Structure 1
Amino acid sequence: MARVLLIDDNAEIRETTAIRLQIGGHHVITAASPQEAMDVADEHPHFDVAVLDLHLPKVAGDELLDLLRAHRTTADLPVVFYSANAPHATSVHGLSLADTRLTKGRPLNNLLSTINCLSH
């Protein structure tokens, strides 16, 4: 079981993803904004992985990654970018974002598999 920080501004996607990850055995704490994510990271500092929406209002997912990397409790936290609006892979900071293996087929199952790999 992984402790997952899930950040997505879309309530429906956030709730659906959180439920699926919880069914998969993970403990999920959600945030709707970058500021809320940073507050949650302060309150619950021991996450195994963060799942970030690539398209957040005001602060894009890659900018949030910079904030997480600069924060003492999340500096080394593995990050998965997961976006409903990314039809193809994008590269930011040398990471593969919205990888087609995550967005094609059964994306929530693929996300669950990725989290399982990162948290072991």
Structure 2
Amino acid sequence: MKTVLVIEDNKEIRENTIELLELAGYRVIDVEDGKAGIEAAGRELPDIILCDIMMPQADGYEVLETLKSNLSTSGIPFIYLTASAEKKEIQKAMDMGANAYICKPFDVNELMDTVERLLQ
């Protein structure tokens, strides 16, 4: 069973995302801020990470930068799930090494297709 780490400070979005992933057969670990996300990624070594950008403790950019600089977490596929749809934000995320960028509110099929594609 593949493990997904969800890093999201909005409780409702986090719970909805967890439910979708669990229904699709994934094991889900969830945390509500970037610092806890960095710690969970290093401890659990998930198969894929879904991360918001605007969060307390450490934002999504700090999370990605930290994980990419660590040998044990640098190869984990990373998807931003965020409300920001600005082209400069998307470009920054991709330049930093994100594998995908999905805007909220997200389409369930787009999310699941992206997760499945990156896990292959």
TM-score computed with the length of structure 1 as normaliser: 0.81
Mapped to 2, the partners of 1:104 and 1:35 lie a distance apart of: 22
Q: CA RMSD in A?
A: 2.4
Pairs within 5 Å for 1:78-89: 78-83=77-82, 85-89=83-87
Counterpart position of 2:66 = 67
Deviation at 1:7, TM superposition (A): 0.3
Q: Per the alignment, in what secondary structure is the counterpart of residue 56 of structure 1? A: coil
Mapped partners of 1:75, 1:111: distance in 2: 21
Structure 1 residue matching 2:91: 3-state secondary structure: strand
Which structure: greater helix fraction? 2
| Deviation larger for 85-94 or 73-82 | 85-94
Matched, 1:108 2:117: no
SS in 2 for 1:30: strand
In structure 1, distance between residues paired with 2:7 and 2:62: 13
Return the offset for 1:119. Answer: 0.5
Q: Aligned runs of 1:1-120 on 2, under 5 Å?
A: 1-45=1-45, 47-83=46-82, 85-89=83-87, 90-92=90-92, 93-94=94-95, 99=101, 102-103=102-103, 107-120=107-120
Q: Could you say what secondary structure the match of 2:20 adopts? A: helix
CA contact 2:49–2:77 (8 Å) conserved in 1: yes
Residue identity over aligned pairs, in percent, reads 27
SS of 1:87's partner is coil
CA distance in structure 1 between the partners assigned to 2:21 and 2:51 by the alignment: 14
Deviates more, 1:6-15 or 1:56-65: 56-65
The answer (yes or no) to whether the contact 2:100–2:114 under 8 Å persists in 1 is no
Alpha-carbon shift at residue 103 of structure 1 (Å): 3.4
Residue identity in the other structure for 1:79: F
Q: CA offsets, 1:55-90, max 9 Å, x none?
A: 11242211210011122321111100011x223442
